[in-house]
Homo-oligomer: A and B are copies of this chain.
Amino acid sequence: MIWTVYLSGEIHTDWREQIQAGAQAAGLPVEFTAPVTNHDASDAAGDVLGDESDSFWRDHKSAKVNGIRTQTLIEMCDLAVIRFGDKYKQWNAAFDAGYCAALGTPYITLHDKDIIHPLKEVDAAAMAWAQTPEQVVEVLKYVTTAQ
Q: Which residues of A contact B (CB under 8 A)?
A: 1, 3, 33-34, 36-38, 41, 45-46, 48-50, 52-57, 59-72, 76, 78-79, 84, 88-104, 106, 108, 115-125, 127-131, 135, 138-139, 142-144, 146-147
Contacts and interface: CB of A to CB of B under 8 A. Distances in A.
Determine the main DSSP class of A at the interface with B.
Answer: helix
Contacts of A37: 146
Contacts of A97: 95, 98
Question: Copies per complex?
Answer: 8
A8 B106 CA distance: 20
A4 B12 CA distance: 31
A121 B92 contact: yes
